[in-house]
Structure 1
Amino acid sequence: MGQNLRLNCTAHLMQRLLLTAFFILAVSALAVGISQGERYLQAFALALLGLFLYTALCVPAAKRLEHLGPLRLWLLLTILCVAIKVFWIWRVRVPLAGDYSVFWGYANALAERTTVYGGRYMALFPHIFGYADFLSWFIRLSGPQPMLAPVLNVLLTVCSGSFLYHLCLRWFHSPAATLVYLLWTLCPSQTIYNSLVLSEPLYTALILGVLSLLTETERFAALKGYPLWIGVLSGTAGGVLLRWVNGVRPIAAILLIALLLWISLLNLNRLAARNWRRWWGLCMAGVLGAYVLLGPVWNARLSVRIGEEPSHTPGYSLLVGLNPDSGGRWNQEDSDRLYGYSDQPGATAQWTQEQLLADAEARILSGEIDFSKLLKQKLRTFLGSDDACVGYSASVLRHTAFFSLLCNGFYYAAFLLATGGAVQVWRSRERGLLLLAPLYILGLTLAQMLVEVAGRYHYSMIPMLLLLGQGTWKRTGEE
């Protein structure tokens, strides 16, 4: 009895430490964002107005619509989501440029031949292959249609919204599920990004798919009568999805670490329960086994498709992330250094990245970096605003100041809503899978403080903020 009490107190302390870290991050993000100028203060004021309208109108409406049932509500929300997203991509067609042109070019090349010509860039940055390969499947089916990528983005948006809906149905109830899907549908930056050729909608949908799978595993673990092999099966499926996530964006380790911390620290008391321990032990064995075993398979396929061995070292990203002159963002100096190494006779992608890693280490030891200043710059770039999508679409988008205001207002409101949800989680001593949301947000932020940073890299955090924002509701069965 005494041991269980100690474990419970320790798990409770870990939850408090996690939420405290999230509160600090949320306040810091809002502070560095609002301090950028008057238009960001206006966006914050809009966020406060939006939260008032959300509480006064949306929450009561979601409760009144509960009588329609989960399926009908999901259908209505999906129709609304498709209508808004399709209207946007039809009216706003952004010309291919920069990274988006690279994705499209490689996707067409992969659709046309087994081994692409000039695959060195993908060998240097293997995650480009993940999305380009996915896109190439549909190019083979429909041809290189200009609207293909935006239409796929809409479908992936619906998948993400459906996963969010499912998660809130399991964790809370129908009104929370309705609200989270509605907020995802109304998110301005997500809508604007749908016009571009980019990997964020794909890996975000996959991450939410993993969360949905884990949620079902948690449900099985709490019930009796389910065979243990279901835990292994669901874990294996989760490992497959995580390997795909890593192939599209190398962030699967963040989710794996978050899950291990959730099991080993945030649920210490539940580990004492034999059934729960066996379920999650087998699930994690399936996750890690599938993830590790599929690594060589993915790399072998990648090598065949691009014509050379891919790099496994993030030297360039670390070098750029440590550049104090650019604030950790892309810069011409480090880009020239990359090609200077890569263009040398006999250079391989791995050797090139190793040289860049050595340069990154030398930059750290040079004593020329003011780390506090650099980290503040990177935090501002990564979390200070959500209007990078407007800049990417500026060639065809009118009223850019208005759309920037909408994007930042919604984003700040999401942070405020998530903070409110975290307060309720603190009070309720919640230790369910909802805690993976702040774990992921903190993990992704810490990772970005090391490597190259850009505003759009927080795309996958927005659904996590929306999920955490629903923490203001009680869990199913507590009412």
Structure 2
Amino acid sequence: MKKGLKLEKNWFYSFCIALSVVGIAYILITGVSEMQGNQEYPYAMKGMLILIFFLAWVGVHFLALLSARLGIKEKLSKKSKLIFGLETVYVLLILIFAFIMRVAVIIELPMKPASDYKTYYEIAVMMKKGILQEKGEGYCNYIAMFPHIAGYCYILKNIFVLFGTSVWNGQMANVFFSLGTVFFVYRIARKLGGKIAGIVALTGSAFWPSQILYINMLAAEYSFSFFLFLSVLLFLHLVMDYDSTTKNGISGILLHILLGCLIAITAAIRPMALILLIAILLFLIPQKMSLPGIPINSISIWVRFLAKGWLRGLLILASYMVVSGIITTDIELLINKSVPSFSQSFGYNLLVGLNNDASGGWNEEDSKFLYDNLERTGSPIEAQTACRDEAFQRLVSNPNMLFNLFIKKYELLWGNDNYGSDWNLAFLKEQNELTQTRADFLYKVKSENQIVYLVFILFSFLTLIYLLKKQANGVYVLILIYLGTAAMHLMVESQNRYHFHAIPVLIILGSVGVAFIFDNAIIFVESSDVERQRKEKQMIRQEAVLKKFEMEEHKAIEERYKNMTNSFDMKSAITNGNVTVTVSEIYAKSNNEENSNDIVYVAPAMPAPATPEPAPAATGNKAIEPPDVEQNVGIIDQEEQKSNNLDKVADKKESENKMADESLLSLILELEEIAETGKIVKKPKDKIQHKNSDGGLEEILDKIREIEKRQDNMLEGFTIIKHDIEHVKRIAADLDQREKEDNV
């Protein structure tokens, strides 16, 4: 709810919802089991009904998901004026079509008042003429025993006064009350479930087959439903729209009084309105409204009054009692007799309801018992009291039969919705108005009506399941009406048509369930989009992490490769200045003349250290003898020959290193492929270099052993090259020293 009375879940709320789930589920089971096909295919209709359930379920969910995916609700919310206009036009069109269909039934299925409907008509005519006490003594006794009869008769009497005495005018009054009920059902569903629920409820109630077919009966159900759902709409307005910030507290008080008066008027038509009064009190008493956080004296006294649910309930009950008392007095003046109290007036109905042989329905035995006691005592009150006492005797004499009787009566009341067709078939046949065409039409509509009834029962069941999980909802008051109707008719007289006023309750419940499906579809689509975006972001992060991991893995492979090879690039070291090779000018000149186009690479080969020549001793002023040039040239020639040999060794080692690099690189690629795929790729036999390999793994192990062997060889060669380089450095240093001495 908005900011009005906040309905909180409690144990009683949960109990009522759970009990309703069981009751509605039983109606579904009973309804499906009672579906009858033709004699040739008796079970085909049941299978068809289950298929319709499935299609209705899937269809509503598909439309809900499609609407949510297209964002229709969000788009329409931006065009509120246009949507309001379209909704208004749709409501008017539906009401016009509903009016046409109801008038067509009155014309095509002409019905004269009979049974209880004839009683209503004749009493209304006598009331109009003012001769009820004079010529209607029997009717006065009847009203004294069942005071609610006077309520609908009073409505008919005023219609006859305004428009003339005729069955047609009474039937047109039914059309007016029926269309008013359709509109109230639309407004209630819209208030509880939004536009979608309102549209579904409007359409369902406007074209409900049994309530259209029953329109030609002068029955009290239409006026009773009109005032009942007007009262429900007013109640929801009071608890949902009157909050702590309202500035019209006094109007709220007056509307609560009006609500009590409306319920009293409704109860004057049919006493079942007491169910609504009890439901409202159960709804209000535990609730309270939060007041704004300001000094209490700054809040209107009327708002403070409305903040307490029990005070609201007390106000409604008080106004009901006052108006009900006035109506009772008026009825007593009308018939000039005293009427039984509330507890006494249910005696006959309780007696009939506990008749196991008649399945809790009207029967000749109990009717005779009532009128015998009326004749014996001369008092309607005494007659009702006698019926009540007899009912208690039945109750205590055979308590074991109660459960079986209750289940039987529940099935009779809720198992189908065929009263519209059944009553027309019965009375038209009695009045010789039942043609074959009319009979075929009524039987066809009877089957279709049962399908519509059970489909709405299905969605009502879904609504109750949602209510078990969701927050408390104002639809709770309608659930209490359903439970009250079911509970009361377990005890008192029961007929299939007595659930007439509960059909709009089921329509509203089913419509709210459809709205819940659409709302859940929006939540599902939004959460799916959020989840999809989250997964996309997660995939991007995973790809980034994987890419980073691959880069680090490649770097690690390169490092492992360098560590495994232990190679030393002398040329790069010399180029980068990490290693410096120095030779004498004569050696460099001779080397350039003979090998001007060669690039010298020093290969590691550690020769035995050369014995340095002793430096000439300095002897006083004795002149230093020039060095032996021929000897120097010989030394240089020997060094050049060694250098050439080292170049060859270096070239060979470089070739071997290159081959090892290629082999290692190929192995690394194979290892990476095995790590990624988890499979060992088998190479063709002509590419396998090891004859004794037993599969891909053995081949890889052989290669690793070969590489390890090559690494050992390269390490040994590197050591030799390192010693050779050091030897060359020493020779170059000796040559530089000798050159300096020669210059000196």
- TM-score, length of structure 1 as denominator length: 0.89
- Compared with structure 1, are the counterparts of its residues 46 and 199 closer, same or farther at alpha carbon in structure 2 (3 Å cutoff)? farther
Residue 332 in 1 paired to residue 364 in 2? yes
Alpha-carbon distance between aligned partners in 1 of 2:207 and 2:195, rounded to the nearest angstrom: 18
Aligned partner of residue 398 in structure 1, secondary structure = helix
Say if 1:180 and 1:466, in contact at 8 Å, map to a contact too.
yes
1:288 to 290, 314, 317: 317
Alpha carbons 1:32, 1:379 under 8 Å: kept:
no
Shift of the alpha carbon at 1:282?
4.5
Q: Which runs of 4+ in 1 moved over 6 A?
A: 56-65, 475-479
Question: Quick one: distance in 2 between partners of 1:43 and 1:209?
Answer: 37
Cα separation, 1, equivalents of 2:125 and 2:131: 11
Residues 1:127 and 2:148 are matched in the alignment: yes
Work out the CA distance in 2 between the residues paired with 1:9 and 1:150.
40
Give the alignment partner of residue 266 of structure 2, picking from 223, 237, 245: 245
**Partner residue of 2:395?**
364
Instruction: Percent identity, please.
Output: 20
Deviations 1:264-292 (A, max 9, x none): 35x4xx55658687344453233111101
**Counterpart in the other structure of 1:208:** 229
Give the structure, 1 or 2, with the largest relative contact order (CA under 8 Å, sep 6 or more): 1
User: Among residues 164, 174, 177, which one is paired with 2:185 in the alignment?
Assistant: 164
The aligned amino acid for 1:36 is E
- For residue 55 of structure 1, the aligned residue among 54, 57, 60 is 60
Out of 490, 493, 498, the residue aligned to residue 457 of structure 1 is: 498
- Deviation at 1:223? 5.5
Contact 1:324 1:369 in 2 (8 A): no
Match of 1:418 in 2: 460
> Equivalent of 2:353, from 321, 335, 341?
321
CA distance in 2 between partners of 1:257 and 1:347 (Å): 34
Deviation at 1:259, TM superposition (A): 1.4
* Cross-structure match for 1:108: 125
Query: Are the equivalent residues in 2 in contact too, given 1:77–1:178 (CA < 8 A)?
Result: no
Asked if the contact 1:234–1:286 (Cα under 8 Å) also holds between the matched residues in 2, the reply is: no
Say which is worse superposed, 57-66 or 146-155, in terms of deviation: 57-66
Distance 1:311 1:167 in 2: 35
Q: Which residue of 2 aligns with 1:430?
A: 472
* Cα pair distance change 1:238/1:423, threshold 3 Å: same
Instruction: Measure the CA separation in 2 of the matches of 1:56 and 1:16.
Output: 26
Task: Figure out how many residues of one structure are paired with residues of the other and give that number.
Answer: 467
The aligned counterpart of 1:141 is 162
Q: Which residue of 2 aligns with 1:192?
A: 213
CA change 1:216–1:316 in 2 (3 A) is: same
Amino acid at match of 2:370: L
Matches of 2:211 and 2:47, distance apart in 1: 21
Give 3-state SS (helix, strand or coil) of 2:491's partner: coil
Deviations 1:108-164, CA, capped at 9 Å, x for gaps: 111110644221111111111111111110111222222122211111111111111
Contact in 1 for aligned 2:31/2:415 (Cα 8 Å): yes
Q: Of residues 433, 436, 439 in structure 1, which corresponds to 2:480?
A: 439
In terms of mean alpha carbon deviation, does 9-18 or 255-264 score higher?
9-18
Pick closer, same or farther for the CA change 1:10–1:73 going to 2, 3 Å: closer
| Structure with max Cα Rg | 2
How far apart are residue 184 of structure 1 and its match? 0.3
Q: Give, in whole Å, the separation in 2 of the partners of 1:462 and 1:46.
A: 23
Cα distance 1:476–1:27, how it changes in 2: closer, same or farther (>3 A)? closer
Deviates more, 1:399-408 or 1:61-70: 61-70
1:37 positional shift: 5.5
Query: Which of 176, 198, 201 matches 1:155?
Result: 176
How big is the shift at 1:311?
2.3
CA-CA distance at 1:423 after TM superposition: 2.2
* Equivalent residue number for residue 402 of structure 1: 444
Which residue of structure 1 aligns with residue 254 of structure 2? 233
Higher mean C-alpha displacement, 10-19 vs 383-392: 10-19
Q: Are the equivalent residues in 1 in contact too, given 2:102–2:215 (CA < 8 A)?
A: yes
Q: Which residue of 2 aligns with 1:278?
A: 306
SS for the counterpart of 1:343 is helix
Report deviation, 1:225: 2.9
CA distance in structure 1 between the partners assigned to 2:63 and 2:347 by the alignment: 47
Q: Flag the 1:398–1:276 CA change in 2: closer, same or farther, 3 A.
A: farther
Match of 2:332 among 276, 288, 303: 303
Distance 2:290 2:156 in 1: 46
Query: Does the 8 A contact of 2:257 with 2:316 survive in 1?
Result: yes
Distance in 1, matches of 2:63 and 2:266, equals 33
Counterpart position of 2:700: none
Letter in 2 for 1:429: Q
Gap regions ≥5 residues in structure 1: 1-7
Where does residue 3 of structure 1 map in the other structure? none
Cα separation, 1, equivalents of 2:153 and 2:59: 38
Q: Does residue 18 in structure 1 map to residue 35 in structure 2? A: no
How far is 1:50 from its partner?
Answer: 7.5
Hey, what does 2:508 align to over in structure 1?
Answer: 467
Which amino acid letter does the alignment assign opposite residue 376 of structure 1?
I
CA contact (8 A) 2:244 2:290 kept: no
Farther off after superposition, 355-364 or 284-293: 284-293
CA deviation profile, 1:451-473 (whole Å, cap 9, x unmatched): 00000010111111111112232
- TM-score, normalised by the number of residues in structure 2: 0.59
- Tell me the residue number matched to 2:383: 352
Contact 2:192 2:512 in 1 (8 A): no
Q: 1:112 to 1:41 in 2, by over 3 A?
A: farther
Matches within 5 A, 1:363-382: 363-367=394-398, 370-382=401-413
Write out per-residue CA displacement over residues 245-272 of structure 1, whole angstroms, 9 at most, x where no aligned residue. 111111222112211222235x4xx556
Partner of 2:657: none
Give the secondary-structure state (helix, strand or coil) at the position aligned to 2:242: helix
Letter in 2 for 1:111: K
| 1:427 Cα deviation from its structure 2 partner | 2.8
Partner of 1:36: 34
CA apart distance, 1:369: 5.7
Find the aligned partners of 1:258 and 1:198 in 2 and give their Cα distance: 25
* CA distance, structure 2, for counterparts of residue 13 and residue 281 of structure 1: 18
Return the offset for 1:70.
3.7
Deviates more, 1:415-424 or 1:180-189: 415-424
Task: Determine if contact 2:8/2:472 at 8 Å carries over to the other structure.
Answer: no
Deviates more, 1:285-294 or 1:375-384: 285-294
1:184-209, Cα deviation, whole Å (9 max, x unpaired): 01111000111111011111111110
Closer, same or farther: CA 183–276 of 1 in aligned 2, 3 Å: farther
Paired residues of 1:16 and 1:426 also in contact (CA < 8 A): yes
CA distance in 2, matches of 1:246, 1:253: 6
Stretch moving more, 300-309 or 396-405: 396-405
TM superposition shift of 1:357: 0.6
Cα drift, residue 430 of structure 1: 2.9
Instruction: Please tell me whether the aligned partners of residues 235 and 285 of structure 1 are also in contact (alpha carbons under 8 angstroms).
Output: no
Deviation at 1:476, TM superposition (A): 12
The offset of 1:38, in angstroms, is 2.9
